[in-house]
Amino acid sequence: MMHTILVIDDNLPTLTTLCMILNTNGYCAIEAQDAEGAERKFRDNPVDMLLVDHGLPGISGSEVARHLKEIRNVLVAMLSGSPELKETPADIDLLLPKPCPVRDLLSAIGDLFDSDR
């Protein structure tokens, strides 16, 4: 079964790179650059996981995740380059450093899907 991951990041090069990595490793990645686009794509697609950047403009990745999880419960992995974010926020299943090595990212996402069975 191919899992669908909604990637939410306002940095276009990062967003494009993450989607390319996921798509070439057996996932179906959908991209969104902001909360509004994320909600639209989330409602229109069978999303299994959110991969969301913590530092979105105007709204935190945690808030976006919390809002989307109210619509439908999904797994949430958060990327954060913020050194002050030490603990995993509520509603987040996995907190990853940004930048995250590709092998670590794929391993963590695979483990999260495996643990959800």
Residue 112, in any domain of the structure: no
From the number of C-beta atoms within 10 Å of its C-beta (0-12, 13-18, 19+), residue 1 rates as exposed
The pLDDT of residue 86 is 65
Residue 105 in any domain: the answer is no
Q: How confident is the model at residue 116 (pLDDT cuts 50, 70, 90)?
A: confident
pTM over 0.75: yes
- Residue 100 in any domain: the answer is no
Helix axes 102-115, 12-23, angle to 10 degrees: 60
Number of domains in the chain: 1
Domain assignment present for 44: yes
Q: Are 85 and 41 in contact (CB under 8 A)?
A: no
Q: Is 98 contained in some domain?
A: no
Residue 55 confidence (pLDDT): 86
| Per-residue pLDDT tens over the stretch 8-61 | 999 999 999 999 999 999 999 999 999 999 999 999 999 999 999 988 888 888
Determine the structural domain holding residue 5 and report its residue range.
1-57+66-77
C-alpha–C-alpha distance, residues 7 and 62, integer Å = 14
CATH of the domain at 47: 3.40.50.2300
pLDDT tens-digit series, residues 80-92 = 887 666 676 778 8
Rounded Cα gap, residues 81 and 83, in angstroms: 6
Answer yes or no: is 106 within a domain: no
